[in-house]
Structure 1
Amino acid sequence: MSNRNLSSSSLFLATIDNITFHMTYYGPIILLIIGTIGCLCNFLTFTSRQLRENSCAFYFLCSSIFEFLSITFGLTSRLAADHFDYNLQHTNRIFCKFRAYFVTTIPLIATYLILLSAIDRYMSSSIHVYLRSFSQIKIAYRNVLIVIIIGLISCSHILISYDLRPKCATLRGIYTIFDGMFVVFWVGLIPHIFMLIFGCMILKNIRHTRQRRIIKMEIKHININQNQHQNYHKTDAQLILMMLVQIGLSSLLILTRMIYYAYYILGPLFTGDKKIIGSFLMSFTTLLYYTNYVKSFYIYTLTSQLFRTVFLQRIKEYIQKICGTRSKRSVELYRGK
């Protein structure tokens, strides 16, 4: 009976190990493909005339840029190290430091830009004119710059602590716990808790404000027609929906990763057969972590008719430009002959 248990346990561990191998190989490749496509489509959509002057859309655009940098740098370097014997991070001191720095800093900035979009939508949905005045594109430019600077500075300790020891790792002892908790709280818990808080406040604003009264009050003071107001309100509402769904899924994916990462840092060391299970959980939650920076385009497409319409219009514009350029070249060649 004991031999059977041993054989079944060995088979189970071998299966888990095999799943981990394929997951760490095919998972990053799949995420890279769909993530790169999604980020490029986001960039195409949020640079359209309809959205380029909207502060929330600008936060989404900047977040998409950092999401693209996160998945291309983070996933490619991890895939290369796991399956292609690319050990530069364990042999080159400079690459060790900067990889550790950027794989934390870039996702952090992308996350806080989504938090800014939540704050912006809270401001725009407020009944107070003073708060709504902060939802402007010129303020968004300044806020994005501030977040980038704070992100770069707050993670600067990584450049000092990480080194070849002999592999690329942080300082041992209490600093290892600090480094882990820095990621758990500063990248994971703090921004997503605030996202959820502002998400609830946005819903409260929507429930307790009379949009028609606000529009009538604004019409008395601002010389624009009713159709323009309705179009602006429709855009605003759909951006709020996009942002709320983004926050919900982001919180689920990131917090799942951070809960396990905190246990990995603070809990007992995995030994023996538990290492295989621990490796599987670490790889799985890492893929969830990067999935968070892949999903935005697909969320926006599913939740917003406005986003789909603008995206399709941009595709048509580029197709027309390409076809127009080709037709001009054909005419020029024909005339040359």
Structure 2
Amino acid sequence: MALSIDTGLTYSLDNIVQQLNRYVSPAIFIFGVVGNTLNCLVLSQRTLRSNPCTLFLLVSSFIDIISILFGLPTRILGGWNLDPTTTISWICKIRAFTVFSTRTMATWLIMLATIDRWLLSSTDVHRRQICSMKNVKRAIILSLIVSILTYVHMFYCYNANIEDQPLKCYGNTETCRLITDLSYAFISILIPLIIMIIFGLMTISNVHRIHSRVHHRITTILDNDERMKMKKKMLHSKKLDHHLLCMLSVEVILLIVLCVPQAIEKLYFTLKPFGSGSGLEESIKVLIYNIGLLLAFIASGMPFYINVLAGGSVYTKACSDLIQIVAEKMFGKLQ
């Protein structure tokens, strides 16, 4: 009786995984591709693209599109048992390497953007001078190199037709799986996230320190008319601080919610790998693994929506300018 219950639960869990791939993956695909494409169009406008921090975010969104385009279609096909990565090793290798390396690069670029904001908010002129477009391009190239080197082993390690693992396209040895899981948990998720939190808090601290100095100047040096003008500027700056704090909080919270579970999952599967439990336990692991994958793809598709909700008037104005430009071109052609 217990055996039949376990068999029924196993079948149900396997069916849930299949339904997630069939119906949730396409929604995330549309959500991610549309959002990142709009983000690229908005951030590439002349008023924004000259900003070093914006360049990090622009390249990150472009990289996220690549990750989604390579990662989700095979999962959608897998929901209908048509995934080519399960049987063709070279497709398996390219897909795995591309998804892991691009996701790592996108996370590192957001981390670098956070460091860039800290440097720009510093009172040290030498730190602010580091934030040049030349150095930003160097940092982007560095993140690309790190991402490639971190997962280049997957061309050797990953193969199709792997049994007793969450996916047929998976690491072919325990050593390969251990290296991949630990690399993803620490290099792709935990370390960048910790650095983002630290430098984000330091940025806010720098902004408050600058405002304290400006406030001291207002109260001790300026006359009444100049004081009123400066107070208006201070009020505007406080609004910007609020947007900065909201944006940072939303980014960190969503990254924790969407990415940290997968890092924990990777560490757990390192200690208790697939194939070490009963059939029901393995089905539960596969379900958890697939949910973690989908959450990570949601994280790759969310930057545009975060910017709209928490990016303040600068981003919304850039969006409206983009809409106006597109509308003018469309109506111009119609006329």
User: What is the TM-score when the length of structure 1 is the normalising length?
Assistant: 0.82
Q: Does 1:260 align with 2:257?
A: no
Deviations 1:1-23 (A, max 9, x none): xxx98887776655544433322
Distance verdict in 2 for CA 1:49–1:248, change over 3 Å = same
1:187 maps to which residue?
188
Q: Alpha-carbon deviations, 1:34-80, whole Å to 9, x = none?
A: 11110111011101122111111111111000111111110112222
Aligned pairs for 1:70-149 within 5 A: 70-87=67-84, 89-149=85-145
1:30 to 17, 27, 31: 27
- Count the aligned residue pairs: 316
Contact 1:42/1:64 (CA < 8 Å) preserved in 2? yes
Q: Secondary structure at the match of 1:262?
A: helix
More off after superposition, 303-312 vs 235-244: 235-244
Aligned pair partner of 2:294 in 279, 282, 287: 287
Shift of 1:252: 2.6
Identity level (%) = 27
Distance 1:67 1:279, change over 3 A: same
Counterpart AA for 1:213: V
Q: How does 1:158-237 map to 2 (within 5 A)?
A: 158-164=154-160, 168-210=169-211, 213=214
Q: Which range is displaced more, 158-167 or 141-150?
A: 158-167
Distance 1:315 1:262 in 2: 45
Q: In structure 1, what is the equivalent of residue 222 of structure 2?
A: none
Which amino acid in the other structure matches residue 205 of structure 2? K
Q: Distance in 2 between matches of 1:185 and 1:235?
A: 33
**Take 1:207 and 1:35, find their aligned partners in 2: how far apart are those partners?**
35
Shift of 1:145: 1.8
For 1:289 and 1:234, how far apart are their aligned partners in 2? 31
Aligned residue number for residue 297 of structure 1 = 304
Residue 174 of structure 1: CA displacement?
A: 2.8
Residue 320 and residue 267 in structure 1: after superposition, are their counterparts in 2 closer, same or farther (change >3 A)? same
User: Whole-Å Cα distance in 2 between the matches of residues 102 and 21 of structure 1?
Assistant: 23
Distance 1:150 1:275, change over 3 A: closer
Determine the structure 2 residue equivalent to 1:64: 61
Q: CA distance change for structure 1 residues 272 and 5 in 2, over 3 Å: closer, same or farther?
A: closer
Deviation at 1:81, TM superposition (A): 2.9
Alignment of 1:307-322 (within 5 A): 307-322=315-330
Which one of the candidate residues 249, 252, 260 is aligned to 1:247? 252
Q: Decide which moves more: 295-304 or 125-134.
A: 125-134
- The answer to whether the 8 A contact 2:35-2:301 is kept is yes
CA contact (8 A) 1:121 1:240 kept: no
CA RMSD in angstroms comes to 3.1
Contact 2:240 2:312 in 1 (8 A): no
**C-alpha contact (below 8 Å) 2:14/2:283 kept by paired residues:** yes
Structure 1: runs of 5 or more not aligned = 217-226, 328-337
Q: Partner letter of residue 203 of structure 1?
A: I
Q: Is the 8 A contact 2:7 2:280 kept in 1?
A: no
**Residue in structure 2 matched with residue 219 of structure 1 by the alignment:** none
Residue 230 (structure 1) shift: 10
CA gap 1:51/1:242 in 2 versus in 1, 3 angstroms: farther
> Does 132-141 or 303-312 show the bigger shift?
132-141
Label 1:164 to 1:17 Cα distance change in 2 as closer, same or farther (>3 A): closer
Provide the rounded CA distance (Å) in 1 between the counterparts of 2:279 and 2:156.
33
SS at match of 1:116: helix
2:16 is aligned to: 19
- Asked whether the equivalents of residues 20 and 79 of structure 2 are also in contact (C-alpha less than 8 Å), the reply is no
Deviation at 1:231?
8.8
Amino acid at match of 1:174: T
Give the conservation status (yes or no) of the 8 Å contact 2:66–2:102. yes
Partner of 1:324: 332
